[in-house]
A and B are shown apart, each in its own frame.
Chain A
Amino acid sequence: MKNLILYICLLGFIQMQAQESYTIDGASGELYIHEINKVTLVGSNESKLTVEVDGKLYETPEKSKGLKLINPAGYSDNTGIGLHVSKDGNSYSFRRISNKKGNRYIFHVPKGYHVHYESSSYNAGTLHINDVEAELDVSANYNRVELSGVTGPMAIHSVYGGIEAKFSSVSQEGPISLYSVYSDVDVSVPANTKANFNLKVSYGDVFSDIDLSYPQSEDGFKHLNAKKFTGLMNGGGVDFTLKSGYNNVYLRKQ
């Protein structure tokens, strides 16, 4: 029994060791992620950008031995982890090579990076963003986007996927915008957050447990419209837009 446990631990250790990765030195830059399915972004305190494959890398079929994976755009796997990376100064663009669903890619992102993610694929899966302090620019068609421990600034939209975000604090450095056309937008912020919430729903409702104040406009009236209104939290602060076309917006305090 003892030997069996040891053997299982050893297997786990070997698998961990076998996790494949690609590293770029430097604590700041622009990171572009184009059409890569199943991505996780994790904040990092290290002065390097690391991309890991979660699990074992997708193996090309036996029949492909001696052949090269052809990508119509001319990209090749120059990272050893099934991705193509191109460099322009301190700007790095990662692209998927294979059409197979493959494994999840985990990007460990230093906070000095500015992250751009775009995906239009049905197979994009959930985009996880954890503890990332870098500025985020996300454009998705089908992804669900789940964020935790984030601060902003950020601009995120998904046509079909929902967006759920738990902020550790709300940065006052720049605007925050979360927009889903067909799904919910569900956001939690710390109780001491200072923000101007711009809340917009076309066919859904807005739900919140925050006492928002509603500013008067220049004509002395409060213009309240159930589909589009601005509410200030703790006297107001950074512009924070939450928008859902066909579903609800949930705004919670932690």
Chain B
Amino acid sequence: MEREEKIIAYLLNELNTEERADFESAMHADPELKQAFLSYQTSLSSLDKLAAETPSIELKRKFESFLKNEIAKPQAHQNNLRILSPLKWMGVAASILLAGFFLNQFIQDAPTNSDFNTINPEWIQTVSTGKTSERIQAIHEITDKNDLDPTILKAIEEVMYNDQSSNVRLAAVESLGQYVHQSEVQLMLIEALQKIETPIIKIEIINTLTQNKDDKAKDTFEAMLAKNDLNDAVRNELHTNIRKLENIY
């Protein structure tokens, strides 16, 4: 059995007692195996979390319709099918589930008269699996061309928290910044400022909130300064922006 298959079998509880014990010993002796195991474990738990989201009936209907369309398409795509490693399959599965998660969230959170077409599946595919530049472009385009609606807002928020590239998350904050005068966006950014750890993202959020010249932002900045574990650059940015807000008043 290949190493990857063994890890998956272990995680899925498909090994007998002796095989489990052997695998655990091997893991103790081989840091690389342990690292690979931890990666798989993290991926699987993410999949579990995503899978726990129950798709709505509307999502199910749209997904079935999407599948029917795909099946009806010519066979050209199938010629490109390759045999993928288990990890690749998990990546593909994660992308599908992530896209499903996005769709589900958008449908559940949007008002009942919301137009689902405001975000097309191609866009979701790009922000889920595209290159860094493609994801940044997709974020900018959707906010440049569309009025802000809850579906788009939710999508950009997801990217701000979860994209693997801090440059893409930065682009998401910049895009949200165009709507910072809306209280919903302001509250979203205040929450993100306290949750997100990456200094550059925090700095961008601080500057964005300051543009709005609002007391809530100043109160948040002051509360954050009371904490001891702040990054120096973030602390400096908070001080500067509090002064900026005080001059404005």
Across-interface contacts of A184 in B (CB, < 8 A): none
Check A239 against B137 for contact (C-beta < 8 Å): yes
Query: What is the number of contacts between chain A and chain B, taking CB atoms within 8 Å?
Result: 90
Across-interface contacts of B233 in A (CB, < 8 A): 141, 159-160, 181-182
Across-interface contacts of B31 in A (CB, < 8 A): 74-76
Complex CA distance for A76 and B131, rounded to whole angstroms: 29
Complex CA distance for A179 and B201, rounded to whole angstroms: 12
Check B203 against A155 for contact (C-beta < 8 Å): no
B35 within 8 A of A: yes
B25-46 near A? 1/0 per residue, CB < 8 Å: 0000001101110110000000
Check B200 against A139 for contact (C-beta < 8 Å): yes
Q: How many Å from the CB of B169 to the closest CB on chain A?
A: 10
Given known contacts A76-B31, A174-B134, A155 and B199 CB-to-CB distance under 8 angstroms: no
By beta carbon, the residue of chain A nearest B170 is: A157
Across-interface contacts of B131 in A (CB, < 8 A): 114, 135, 153, 174
Complex CA distance for A74 and B39, rounded to whole angstroms: 12
A220 within 8 A of B: no
B99-132 near A? 1/0 per residue, CB < 8 Å: 0000000000000000000000000000000011
A73-102 near B? 1/0 per residue, CB < 8 Å: 111101000000010110000000000000
Across-interface contacts of A138 in B (CB, < 8 A): 167
Given known contacts A137-B167, A155-B167, A157-B170, A202 and B133 CB-to-CB distance under 8 angstroms: no
Q: How many Å from the CB of A176 to the closest CB on chain B?
A: 8
Size of chain A's interface in residues, with CB distance under 8 A?
34
Complex CA distance for A135 and B137, rounded to whole angstroms: 14
B95 within 8 A of A: no
Check B165 against A175 for contact (C-beta < 8 Å): no
Other-chain residue from B84, B133, B203 in contact with A174 (beta carbon distance below 8 A): B133
By beta carbon, the residue of chain B nearest A115 is: B132
Across-interface contacts of A202 in B (CB, < 8 A): 207
By beta carbon, the residue of chain A nearest B90 is: A88
Check A175 against B140 for contact (C-beta < 8 Å): yes
A46 within 8 A of B: no
Question: A residues engaging B (CB < 8 A)?
Answer: 73-76, 78, 86, 88-89, 114, 116, 118, 135, 137-139, 141, 152-157, 159-160, 173-175, 177, 179, 181-182, 202, 239, 245
Q: List 18 A-B contacts (CB under 8 A).
A: A73-B35, A74-B31, A74-B34, A74-B35, A74-B38, A75-B31, A88-B87, A89-B88, A137-B132, A139-B166, A141-B233, A154-B133, A159-B200, A174-B136, A177-B167, A181-B233, A239-B137, A239-B140
Question: B residues engaging A (CB < 8 A)?
Answer: 31-32, 34-36, 38-39, 84-85, 87-88, 91, 131-134, 136-137, 140, 165-168, 170-171, 199-200, 203, 207, 233, 237
